[in-house]
Structure 1
Amino acid sequence: MVSDIDRAGVEKAYERWAPVYDLVFGKVFDQGRQSTIAVADRIGGRILDVGVGTGLSLSDYSRTTRICGVDISEPMLRKAQNRVRALGLGNVELLAVMDAKNLAFKDGSFDAVVAQYVITAVPDPEATLDDFVRVLKPGGELILVNHIGAESGPRRAFELAFAPLARRLGWRPEFPWQRLVNWAQKHGGVALTERRPMPPLGHFSLIRYRKT
């Protein structure tokens, strides 16, 4: 599949977002973040947070949940590291610059992988999801929260029109649900356990897969 987003473009986009990301996106994405964290905390153990960004979510995890956070943006991670030090988050084991499609972890390293607003912002979503599942333990959970494109109607038309600008900002607004369905069928090692609409107005979804 030919990528319509490239890694260098994503890095540059999030370097620009880093100074204002919390202010611009903090409230908008808060419920989705809190929902994924609640699920991850119920699972417990060792969690990989992919696209951890500025670390906005780190202090909301239970202190008994061990966290490794990775992101492609070094400026974002610098803010996350400052947050960990300032808040004394001893349960954060690691923060590292890493490509989500090529995670530098052994197979079966984590009880859950959390990816908040990541899948529509990577060059190869299917290969990225494959690597998320690879680092999960058998029975572990992949917990996503993401915008899912409308199938039809005015919102679909808007997403298609907005797509060229959105790509320059670092994401795809028209990402279809069918793409995840096709990925899961091709992968064959995951089972969908939940798809829940998230505010605002159901534009986002909490999506959970279990590694079978």
Structure 2
Amino acid sequence: MKTLLGTEEVKAAYRRYAAVYDRLFGAVFEPGRKAAVAAVNTQPGQRILEVGVGTGLSLHQYRADAEVHGIDISAEMLEKAREKVEMRGLAQVKGLMEMDAEAMSFANDSFNCVVGMYVASVVGDPARMIAEMRRVCVEGGDILFVNHFASDHRLLRGFEKAVSPLATQIGFHPDFELQTLLDLAELELVRVQPVNMFGYWRLVHFRNRAAPATNATRQLGYQGGYKLATSPSSAAE
């Protein structure tokens, strides 16, 4: 049975990570962050929410004319993010709040874009988080995830399964399935794009509309065990 991550376990894990997170995960996860921000940096004056903003490694990449809000459950990670905002003078960042992604305090339809980077496999109940992301995003807006998903490589998948019981210690589920995210979202799927080293992580771009009755995932071809968009718009940026 999958080990569930509770709020306190996640807080404890990222309290440990806060001081070293940028050194451990800054450069290695940078391509995924850049791809996600590029996907939402398309229009002036957008209201953007970053769920699981962490230490704020992506905040300086958003357009200067955007209105960016970030939430995280870790006070220690948020403190690092606030330091970056002050040091860089990031006027587009309007607020960084300690908040549970599964129960946000924002009003309905508050944001044009909602981005969750490296957070889908961290929360205890991804379905609740996705429902909240849909709620606070305007109809037709963009909802994006960047995340590690379980490998189709036999040995890697075996390793992920083996360490899955340690989820409460490492702070995420290493065997989180891409299909789980697609099934839970029930949104119009725009594309799935490999990012970061070896394409082991994916950028998953949804539009905040119900998936077509034919199911958007059926319109995707298989490549390397993952469903990848086959239209020109899905090409890596």
Please classify the TM superposition score into its range, dividing by the shorter chain length. Answer: over 0.9
* Worse overlay, 147-156 or 48-57: 147-156
Q: Structure 1 CA distance, aligned partners of 2:2 and 2:151?
A: 22
**Counterpart for residue 183 of structure 1:** 184
CA contact (8 A) 1:145 1:206 kept: yes
Q: Structure 1 CA distance, aligned partners of 2:202 and 2:155?
A: 19
Q: Which runs of 5+ in 1 are unaligned?
A: none
Do residues 16 (structure 1) and 16 (structure 2) align?
A: yes
User: Structure 1 82/199 Cα, relative in aligned 2: closer, same or farther at 3 Å?
Assistant: closer
* Worse overlay, 128-137 or 176-185: 176-185
Q: Which runs of 4+ in 1 moved over 3 A?
A: none
Q: Which runs of 5+ in 2 are unaligned?
A: 210-237
CA contact (8 A) 1:3 1:124 kept: no
Q: Structure 1 CA distance, aligned partners of 2:172 and 2:23?
A: 19
TM-score normalised by the chain length of structure 1:
0.94
Secondary structure of 1:122's match? coil
Q: Structure 2 CA distance, aligned partners of 1:180 and 1:167?
A: 20
**Counterpart for residue 90 of structure 1:** 91
Deviation at 1:106, TM superposition (A): 0.5
**Counterpart for residue 6 of structure 2:** 6
Q: Structure 1 CA distance, aligned partners of 2:89 and 2:23?
A: 22
Deviation at 1:66, TM superposition (A): 1.2
CA displacement 1:84-116 (0-9 Å, x = unmatched): 111111111111000001111001000000110
Q: Structure 1 CA distance, aligned partners of 2:149 and 2:2?
A: 20
Do residues 160 (structure 1) and 158 (structure 2) align?
A: no
CA contact (8 A) 2:49 2:111 kept: yes
Match of 1:206 among 203, 206, 212: 203
Do residues 140 (structure 1) and 146 (structure 2) align?
A: no
**What's the C-alpha RMSD, in Å, of the aligned pairs?**
1.5
Larger Rg: 2
CA contact (8 A) 2:13 2:170 kept: yes
